[in-house]
Structures are given as C-alpha cells and as structure tokens.
C-alpha cells in the first residue's frame, strides 16, 4: 500500500474544490494550499488506514466506510485488501450522506 486510490468522483471533487476556490473565490493560493492539505491527509491514511471515524451510509448499509477531516473538507474512504480507496471529498457543511459514491 503506497498511495491511496482515488475514485473518479473523488478526483472530480478535488478538481471542483480547486476550481471553486481558485476561480469563483478568486484565490488560487488558497486553492493550492487546501488541495495539498487534502491530498496529504489522504496519504496519511496509507500509514493509518483505520484512523478515520466509522460511518454508515444509507445507500451501502453493509459496507464499512470511514471519514477524516482535512481543512474544511471530509474525505470519505474505505479499506479493502490493504488498499485505501478515496471515495469522495466533500465540504464539511454538506451532508456526505447525500454524496453518491458511484
């Protein structure tokens, strides 16, 4: 386990975060810092994969998902076969229960 594996939605989440902060809020420096912080936090999960808080998602009641915070964002992930899969990255003010995983 060397790096987390990002889902397509998680990659799109990161792009959206970067674009929103950089263009809409007109703060490219903050966009870079926040995205770097999120990616660094995700990389820590490789070393500490079970450090996140367990969460139950209504759409997947039998799956084991976890969450960790980075800046004002929540990383939703799961661990399978010693690999960390980043499923979504959502703002802490949004309900991650409403964020589809696929």
Query: What is the CATH number for 71?
Result: 3.30.2310.20
Query: For residue 100, is it within any domain?
Result: no
Kindly report whether the global pTM for this prediction surpasses the value 0.85: yes
DSSP 8-state assignment for residue 97: G
- Tens of pLDDT, residue by residue, the chain (102 residues): 589 999 999 999 999 999 999 999 999 999 999 999 999 999 999 999 999 999 987 777 788 999 999 999 999 999 999 999 999 999 999 876 666 666
Query: For residue 80, is it within any domain?
Result: yes
Report residue 57: phi and psi, to 5°. Answer: -105, 130
Report the pLDDT value the prediction gives residue 88, as an integer from 0 to 100.
95
Report the pLDDT value the prediction gives residue 57, as an integer from 0 to 100.
78
Report the pLDDT value the prediction gives residue 98, as an integer from 0 to 100.
65
Who's near 24: CB < 8 A, 6+ residues apart? none
Report residue 84: phi and psi, to 5°. Answer: -100, 125
Query: For residue 55, is it within any domain?
Result: yes
Domain count, the chain: 1
Instruction: Return the number of other C-beta atoms located less than 10 Å from residue 73's C-beta.
Output: 22
- Structural domain span for residue 65: 5-94
DSSP string, 5-18: EEPHHHHHHHHHHH
């Amino acid at each position: 386990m060397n790096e987390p594996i990002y889902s397509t939605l998680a990659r799109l989440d990161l792009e959206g975060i970067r674009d929103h902060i950089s263009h809409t809020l007109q703060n490219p420096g903050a966009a870079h810092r926040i995205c770097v912080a999120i990616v660094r936090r995700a990389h820590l999960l490789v070393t500490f994969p079970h450090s996140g808080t367990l969460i139950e998602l209504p759409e997947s009641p039998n799956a084991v998902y976890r969450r960790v915070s980075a800046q004002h964002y929540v990383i939703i992930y799961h661990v399978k076969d010693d690999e960390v899969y980043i499923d979504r990255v959502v703002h802490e003010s949004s309900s991650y229960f409403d964020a589809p995983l696929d």
